[in-house]
Amino acid sequence: MARVFITGSSDGLGLMAARRLAAEGHDLVLHARNEQRARDTWMAMPDAEAILIGDLSTLAGMRHVAQQANARGPYHAVIYNAAVGYREPRRLVTADGLAHVFAVNTLAPYVLTAMIRMPRRVIYLSSGLHRNGEPSLEDLQWQERRWSGFQAYSDSKLHDTALAFAVARLRPDVFSNAVDPGWVATKMGGPGAPEDLSKGAETQAWLATSDDPAARVSGRYWFHKQARETHPAVRDPAYQDRLLETCARLSGVRLATFPTADAVGSARAQERSTHH
């Protein structure tokens, strides 16, 4: 049995993953943006261990969620699922002066990764649209460019995928992966999405808890349990480092990247003992 924390799990793919993991007997800590969504989540998942509340569009909200998560931890796995979509018709700006899509989709998973005690497994929700992402880290807040919700979303998913690969590179004691759930008929994906909704949460749940040796790997980008190629920038350590430095500067939070060889061996041994 594993304990798993899932961000953005009041509906959509996050809730689907929670239901799948609960059916397998795992313990779930969930997350909702506000009190009303938390109440709805309790109705949908009454057996959840806890539902954390916090708005991931603000730095204060990110920190608050991380503090709550640590108080409830540790976890075997964290699924960074929370995101907003590509239909924002204009550039929305958060209380911190950040573009809304960037704050929720890029900076929030970075801050939570940096602040939450690192589990054995981390999974970042990406998208096939990450291949349309612009690897330049200039004008991330869309102050100079003409606004495009589609491009902002694609950029953010490129960031998430690169973050997963950066954690895999810098924290060899952790299994860190990115998942494309497919274009499925969630609130974000829309009713006309063509792909199999039942498979939308399968891979992230599998990576979070499976004993399958294929799931106990790091630095992969997955689609329906199959490793796929990524945008070339994702695998570029220099790009990863620039992204991490940018997020650290904007958030005031720095990702720790210092496991020792002994720590790596101990982590792998504990991972094996957890499952056998």
Which of the four pLDDT bands, split at 50, 70 and 90, describes residue 229? very high
Give the C-alpha separation, 136 to 118, whole Å: 28
Query: How high is the pLDDT of residue 125?
Result: 97
Query: How high is the pLDDT of residue 191?
Result: 52
> Which CATH number does the domain housing residue 22 bear?
3.40.50.720
Which of the four pLDDT bands, split at 50, 70 and 90, describes residue 194? very low
Mean pLDDT taken over the chain: 90
CA 161 to chain CA centroid, nearest Å: 9
Would you say residue 260 has pLDDT above 70? no
Indicate which residue of 75, 86, 110, 153 is catalytic: 153
Helix (H, G, I), strand (E, B) or coil at 61: helix
Give the C-alpha separation, 130 to 107, whole Å: 16
Give the C-alpha separation, 231 to 249, whole Å: 24
Would you say residue 60 has pLDDT above 60? yes
Would you say residue 21 has pLDDT above 60? yes
Would you say residue 160 has pLDDT above 80? yes
Helix (H, G, I), strand (E, B) or coil at 82: coil
Mean pLDDT of 163-175: 97
Q: Which of 144, 208, 220 is nearest to 178 (CA)?
A: 220
Mean pLDDT of 195-217: 88
> How many CA within 13 A on the CB side of residue 66?
20
Mean pLDDT of 57-83: 97
110 is catalytic: no
Which of the four pLDDT bands, split at 50, 70 and 90, describes residue 145? very high
Indicate which residue of 80, 157, 221, 239 is catalytic: 157
Whether the model pTM is above 0.85: yes
For the record, the structure tokens of 18 come out as 């929670």
Would you say residue 198 has pLDDT above 80? no
Q: Which of 121, 125, 124, 123 is nearest to 211 (CA)?
A: 121
- Write out the residue range of the structural domain in which residue 268 sits: 3-275
Query: How high is the pLDDT of residue 120?
Result: 97
Which of the four pLDDT bands, split at 50, 70 and 90, describes residue 258? low
Would you say residue 75 has pLDDT above 80? yes
Query: How high is the pLDDT of residue 261?
Result: 43
How many structural domains comprise the chain? 1
Query: How high is the pLDDT of residue 188?
Result: 57
Give the C-alpha separation, 1 to 106, whole Å: 30
153 is catalytic: yes
Which of the four pLDDT bands, split at 50, 70 and 90, describes residue 185? very low
